[in-house]
Amino acid sequence: MATTTVLQDELRHKHDELAGRLVHARSIIARPEQTRRGCPPIDQFNAGASRHLHAVDEALLPAVSAHCADGADLVHRYLPVARHLEVLLFHVKAHEYGSTWETTHDWPRLWDEVEAALVAQQEMEDELVAQLVAEAPDDDLLLVAERIAAADRRAPSRPHPHLPHTGLPGKVVRRMTRPVDAVWDAVEGRDGGGPKPAPHKKPGPWWQYLLGDPRFPDDPADAGRHNEPGER
């Protein structure tokens, strides 16, 4: 695969994934008893779209600003489009949980607006990427693709349209909001469909000594006593 297509293929795959999640989310028929309980397909679309937008802010926009002659203008044009989608994602979450402020919106209208905003964001993103591919070295394009994938895994799971998106303030905000979002996701029982944490490693001899909890694999009486969560 040519290096110049890696970034484009990575983002195209991501948008295909989001489009599939959107189709699933909007197929859900909300029932009165679901109010304030949430719905996994809607939560997963919302979280996936939010993480992608944060990842673009984190990795793609700085590269465009650094490598493209009109990078500042491209970023300036992109941000309102992304913020509009973030505002709609915020409305989706509020509508899902039965906010009284959402009584003037119905689901079909809201989903139509989200779909149109997602398409507009992808078109603007494609323009940024096309310009970056035309002006940046291949090695930098590969690095940007890797950074976007890494940023998506650690990005906040909720939209934050009114907070800084670029520069040092944006980076600081993303680092601060990620753990806050994770706490609220746990409190509300939201399924963001994100990567699962790696299982804890078994403590080595040094940590067993410090913890006062030695393990003796050859001792039948010790078998299974100290299994880590998820182990059998």
Domain holding 63, by residue range, is: 3-162
What's the chain's average pLDDT? Answer: 83
Question: How much is the pTM?
Answer: 0.79
Phi, psi dihedral angles at 166 (to 5 degrees): -120, 170
Give the chain's domain count.
1
Whether residue 183 lies inside any domain: the answer is: no
Whether residue 222 lies inside any domain: the answer is: no
Question: Percent of the chain at pLDDT above 70?
Answer: 72
Q: What is the pLDDT of residues 146-161, one digit of tens each?
A: 999 999 999 999 999 9
* Burial of 229: CB neighbours in 10 Å, binned 0-12, 13-18, 19+: exposed
Whether residue 133 lies inside any domain: the answer is: yes
Whether residue 213 lies inside any domain: the answer is: no
SS3 228: coil
Confidence of residue 211 (pLDDT cuts 50, 70, 90): low
Residue 218 has pLDDT above 90, yes or no: no
Which of 45-49, 168-172, 173-177, 213-217 shows the lowest per-residue confidence on average (mean pLDDT)?
213-217
Whether residue 214 lies inside any domain: the answer is: no
The b-or-e profile of 166-178 (16+ CB within 10 A means b, else e) is beeebeebbeebb
Confidence of residue 189 (pLDDT cuts 50, 70, 90): confident
Whether residue 177 lies inside any domain: the answer is: no
79 vs 4: CA distance, rounded Å = 24
Phi, psi dihedral angles at 30 (to 5 degrees): -70, 140
Phi, psi dihedral angles at 148 (to 5 degrees): -65, -45
The b-or-e profile of 3-28 (16+ CB within 10 A means b, else e) is eeebbbebbeebbeebeebbeebbee
Whether residue 23 lies inside any domain: the answer is: yes
Average pLDDT over residues 68-77: 96
How many residues are there in the chain?
Answer: 232
Whether residue 17 lies inside any domain: the answer is: yes
Cβ atoms of 49 and 89 closer than 8 Å: yes
